[in-house]
Copies of this chain bind each other. A is one copy, B any other.
Amino acid sequence: MKTLLNKMDKKLNFKRAKAHCDVPCGIYDPIFAQIYALTVVRMVDLLEEHVKIKEKDLEYYNKMSRLIENKEEHAEKTKHEIRIIWGDFIKPTHKEKYPQIDNLVHSIMVLASESRQHVSKKLALELVSKVNEFAEIFWAIKGEKTIRAKAPYAPNLELVYRKL
């Protein structure tokens, strides 16, 4: 093992630079986080529609409970996906070029938590907006062009897509 450590020490600068490309590296895509964030908005929309129902019967509670749970789950998944890309893909050199990225990622964590704590279209839209911003930086780092296009499912918000 010592030999290994020594061998690694010699190559560490170089190795480190590509370290995250072993596993699960290579295949990062912000589209996961973008669709999850969009789903948070969708759940808020459905909740705001649902709460108007007057009769508080089993169907009411069942759907209320499921919408909240789905909002929770997708806000959490948004955070998880962004954390992976930030932790495994973003390197110090990227931070130099995009010094705002740590704050951006932190704000996504904050907005996703707030989107769990509240039922707020405003917060959920801000979450999508920040995740889109992250996607733009990600694709720029990868050297890919992006465009904005409406998602093909409600709430049909604009998402940042890689240009094909």
Q: Is the interface of A mostly helix, strand, loop or mixed?
A: helix
**Are A61 and B57 closer than 8 Å at their CB atoms?**
no
| Complex interface bits, A8-23 against B, C-beta within 8 A gives 1, otherwise 0 | 1101000110011011
| Complex interface bits, A77-101 against B, C-beta within 8 A gives 1, otherwise 0 | 0010001001110100001000000
Residue from the list B86, B103, B164 in contact with A147, Cβ < 8 A: B164
**Are A42 and B27 closer than 8 Å at their CB atoms?**
yes
A118 CA to B31 CA in the complex, in Å?
A: 29
Query: How many copies of this kind of chain does the complex include?
Result: 6
What chain B residues lie within 8 Å of A11 (beta carbons)? 122
Give the A interface residue count (CB, 8 A).
Answer: 80
A114 CA to B16 CA in the complex, in Å?
A: 8
What chain B residues lie within 8 Å of A64 (beta carbons)? 61, 65
What chain B residues lie within 8 Å of A116 (beta carbons)? 66
What chain B residues lie within 8 Å of A35 (beta carbons)? 27, 29, 31-32
**Are A106 and B87 closer than 8 Å at their CB atoms?**
yes
What chain B residues lie within 8 Å of A65 (beta carbons)? 64-65, 68-69
Q: Does A119 have its Cβ within 8 Å of any Cβ on chain B?
A: yes
| A interface residues with partner B (beta carbon < 8 Å) | 1, 4-5, 8-9, 11, 15-16, 19-20, 22-24, 26-29, 31-32, 35, 38-39, 42-43, 46-48, 51, 57-59, 61-72, 79, 83, 86-88, 90, 95, 102-104, 106-107, 109-110, 112-114, 116-123, 126, 142, 144, 147, 149, 152-154, 161-164
Closest 4 CB pairs of A and B: A87-B109, A102-B102, A58-B119, A149-B164
